[in-house]
Chain A
C-alpha cells in the first residue's frame, strides 16, 4: 500500500500525493503536532468522514493548488492548511480547520502533501507517513474514499437541505463540489 501521486493536467510541476488511513489511533498526537507547527507535520490532514467522493476531495485540493499556482493570495498560513480550508463551504478559517481537519476522535484520515519544494516522491511520503500516522493505509480510490463518509456530518457541514436525496452519491458529490467552489467569492 502506498500514497497516490496525483498530477493535475494544468500543473505538472506541482504534483500532490494523497494517502488514506483507517483505524487511526494517534489522531490527538497528530493534531498536537500540527498545532505546534512541527515541520514534519506539513501535511493536510482531513477527516475522511467529510469526504463525499474522490471528485469532492480533488475539487478542494485543486482549488488550493490552482490558487497557489496562479499566484493568488492564500487565506491560511500554508498550502496544507489551505487544502483543509478549501474543503469548507464557509469563510471562517478556524471553524473550517476544526470541522474538516482531524479531531482527537478521528479514526479515518485523508492526508495530502502538496508542497512543491518537497520532492514529491511517493516512497518518501509513504515512508514518512507510516512513521507519522498509526493506522492502516488503504489505496486511494473512489470506492475507498466513500467508505468513511458520515452523511449526517456532511449534511450539517455543507448545509444540505433535509429534502435532498442523500442516497444518490453522485448528486451529493455535485452539491458539495459546488459549495467548495463557491466559498468566499
Chain B
C-alpha cells in the first residue's frame, strides 16, 4: 500500500517565479534515467503551457546475447551510475534567462529544483531500491520533498504532454507491462492487460532464444530481422475479451526456433506449408505480426467501449514502427488519431517521472521519506489522478 502526504494547500512556485522544476529518477528495470523538467504556470497568453525538458539522460545495462538482466546485477549497475547521472543532469540543464529573470541562460542550481521524483513501482525490487536510496539522500541534502511516482503513470503523462493527446486510449507496452488504459473519474483504468508475461518480455526472451544482441535493445533487433521475414508462420493467437496471454505463443515460437537450429531434426515444423524452410527472420516477422495484431485488437475494443478515437502508445515496445503502422491502419479506419513518441520518451526515462511527479506535487501530494519504500507491484489504477477533472 502506497502512502502519500496530501496537503490541502497547493504549493506555490519559489518566490518571484511562475514555474516549477523537478528532477526525476527512474530505475525500475535495466534503464537508469535522470531527467529535469520545468512546468510553467498558465498565463493569459498560454493557458496550457508546454512542459520544458531541461535534460533527459539515460544509461542502459546491456547484457551479453542470450542473457537477460538479473535484479542483482541491474541494481549494481544503477548504484554505480546514479550519482554520475544526477551530476551530469544538473550540469547539462540550462535555465533559460527568461525564466530566471537573469541576463543570460545559466546552468541549473540545486535550489532551482522544487521536488525530487522517483519511481516507486512497479518494477524489479533491487534496482528500484538502489535508485530510491539516491533520491532520499538528495532529498535530505537539498531539503526538497520526495514524490513517489507510479512508473506507468509516468509513461502516460509524458506521452500526453509530448503528443498533446487529450483523452486517448493508452496502450502501454514494455518489458514489464502490457495494458490498455482509459481515463475515467480520476483514475487511469485498466481495460485489458496481459494475463501472464508482457509483450516486451516475450520479445526479449525470444531474442535470447535466437541469441541476438541485446544492444541497443533486443526488441529493436527483432524488428530489424522481421523486416526480412518472408513467410508468415501461424502461431497461437490468444485474446480473451480485452485481455491477452503471451506465454503460450512464446513457448510455441521458442520450440519452432529450437527445431530450426537443431540440424539433426527433420521435423516438418521447420518448413512452411508450401515446403520452404522457415528462417529466424520469418519467426521474428510472424511473432510481431501475431502479438501486435492482438494488441491492436484489444486497443480497438477499448476504443469502442469508451467511445474515443484517440490512441496513445507508450512504453519501450511503442517505438516499434511495425506496431505503430498497424495501429495507425486501425485508427485511420476509425477516423481517429494515433499518438506515439520517439525512443527518448518511449523507452524508460527519468523525465517522465519528473513530469508525473510534478503534476502530483503541484496538487499538494508528496511522499514522506518513511513511506518511500518501493514496491514491485503497483497497479496503474491505484493512483488517484488529482490533476485531471471528472
Q: Do chains A and B touch in the complex (CB under 8 A)?
A: no
Which residue numbers of B lie inside 8 Å of A, CB to CB? Answer: none
